[in-house]
Amino acid sequence: MHSPDARPAQFPMKELEFVAMMASFQALQALAIDVMLPALGAISRDLRLEDPNQRQLIIGVFLICSGLGSLFPGALADRFGRRTVVLCAIAAYVLLSVVCAVAASFELLLISRGVMGLVTSAMMVMPMTILRDRFEGDRMARTQSLVAMTFMVVPMIAPMLGQSVLLFAGWRWIFGIMGGLAAAVFAWAWIRLPETLDPRFRQPVKLGVIAGNMALALRERAAFGYFLGAAFVQGALFGYLNSAQQLVGEHFGAGTWFPVIFGGMALVMASTNFMNARIVERFGARRVSHAALLFYIVLAAVHLVLAFRGEDLWTFLPLMTLSMCMMSFLGSNFQAISLQPFARIAGAAASVMAFVRVVLGAVLGSLIGQAYDGTARVVVGGMVACGLVALLLVLYSERGRLFRRVNPPEYYRNAPPPVGH
């Protein structure tokens, strides 16, 4: 299938700015999760929650609705263009941050968070789509790793930002800061982001065409195992995020050091993404991600044994950090492999893949979080189970063979055309 090559002479941004802008879109979504973590206790007390695990819904509802909403922006972007969809999503992010800031009840806060996740999901889908417009194969995996490395700054500083706000003001000001940062990104994208959709690839907004293109993405065996496998790995990560404040801050006694610890783990993950960007074009996205997945499973199994024997913070942190580093090798590479066959319907494919990945991941993460028992056993056990399922799915896509390097045009030569053509 034809894929439009990048045209550096016509594209107004150099690689550094382009990577930073794509990272900023994803970072706003990450900010909506990570900046809230230190404030969950304060919100629970202020809004008088009876069940301490209810606070996790502030994260879980946003994630689930982000996944549900991701079904729509890709199809719209295949018709109206990437730029329009991105700008509308960021504008909605600003407005709904204000609504969350003034919410008078926990129910209204959850509804506002849900709507926010629903309508701003394009900021998660569009970077994948725009990257696929410009690059393919291992080059896309490399650029996505650079994007991931850049946006990992947010998990490093967001919890500390939230903690700092709580020192001087209430938790509602956190949402005000989110809205202000989103307004700045909106202005940047308005001025600098061009349209990347090839006019030849515009798809009609017809239910049959949209559904057909999404079904095409779901049926492609070479992609199916990777984006579904990514959902299971991401579910394990979401399970940790949902219970991180209770597990690290309370059970392991980190207290106010929790944001610093969380940020340090994110810094190591950012370094791993940089490493992936340096090696993926040499060794190939498949070889790198397959090795990382196998190591992830073994590492999680060892950690589970230690969790049942009893562990402290200084045992938990290095093992969990290493596991999260393996996720850095998985996310960008799985994403690039999944989108490779779909140059003409990159938006629809990215949407349905994000929908499956985030909804399934958020549901799994919520189940793991709600099962939290005051130890690391549930979180680490979820990592083992999700890793094994992901391995089976990858084996399905690869027809039982791991570690091979594939020539993309040859591998996908039989990919069917999109429904709209």
Contact partners, residue 146, CB within 8 Å, separation at least 6? 15, 19, 273, 274, 277
pLDDT band at 216 (very low <50, low <70, confident <90, very high): confident
Asked whether 255 and 385 are in contact (CB, 8 A), the reply is no
With 0-12 CB in 10 A as exposed, 13-18 as middle and 19+ as buried, what is 267? middle
Give the whole-angstrom CA distance, residue 265 versus residue 267: 5
Degrees, nearest 5: CA angle 367-102-178: 70
Residue with tokens 């993460």: 365
The segment with the largest mean pLDDT, out of 38-47, 283-292, 295-304, 338-347, is 295-304
Going 273 to 274 to 275 to 279, the CA torsion angle's sign is positive
pLDDT (average), residues 326-348 = 78
Give the whole-angstrom CA distance, residue 302 versus residue 326: 15
pLDDT of 414 reads 41
| Residue 297: C-alpha distances to residues 34, 142, 198 (Å) | 25, 24, 40
Amino acid at site 397 = S
Lowest-pLDDT range of 71-85, 213-227, 251-265, 403-417: 403-417
pLDDT of 151 reads 64
Residue-wise pLDDT for 115-136, tens only, equals 998 888 888 888 878 887 887 7
> Taking the mean position of all CA atoms in its chain, how far away is CA 353?
11
pLDDT band at 395 (very low <50, low <70, confident <90, very high): very high
Asked whether 212 and 419 are in contact (CB, 8 A), the reply is yes
- Token duo for residue 260: 């610093």
- Token duo for residue 67: 């996944």
- Token duo for residue 225: 């195992």
pLDDT-above-70 percentage for the chain: 88
pLDDT (average), residues 311-335 = 86
Residue-wise pLDDT for 41-91, tens only, equals 888 888 888 777 777 788 888 888 887 888 788 778 888 888 999 999 999
pLDDT of 3 strictly over 70 = no
Q: What ranges do the domains of the chain cover?
A: 15-192+210-404
Give the whole-angstrom CA distance, residue 135 versus residue 143: 8
pLDDT of 183 strictly over 80 = yes
Give the whole-angstrom CA distance, residue 294 versus residue 78: 36
pLDDT of 399 reads 86
- Token duo for residue 366: 């919520």
Taking only Cα atoms into account, the Rg of the chain, rounded to an integer number of angstroms, comes to: 20
**What is the length of the chain?**
421
Please give the mean pLDDT across all residues of the chain.
81
Give the whole-angstrom CA distance, residue 143 versus residue 285: 12
| Residue 164: C-alpha distances to residues 94, 160, 173, 311 (Å) | 21, 6, 11, 30
Lowest-pLDDT range of 11-25, 195-209, 375-389: 195-209
Asked whether 377 and 307 are in contact (CB, 8 A), the reply is yes
- Token duo for residue 216: 């095409």
- Token duo for residue 55: 């606070």
Decide if domain 15-192+210-404 falls under CATH 1.20.1250.20: yes
pLDDT band at 207 (very low <50, low <70, confident <90, very high): low
Asked whether 311 and 391 are in contact (CB, 8 A), the reply is no
Contact partners, residue 189, CB within 8 Å, separation at least 6? 21, 25, 83, 86, 87, 90
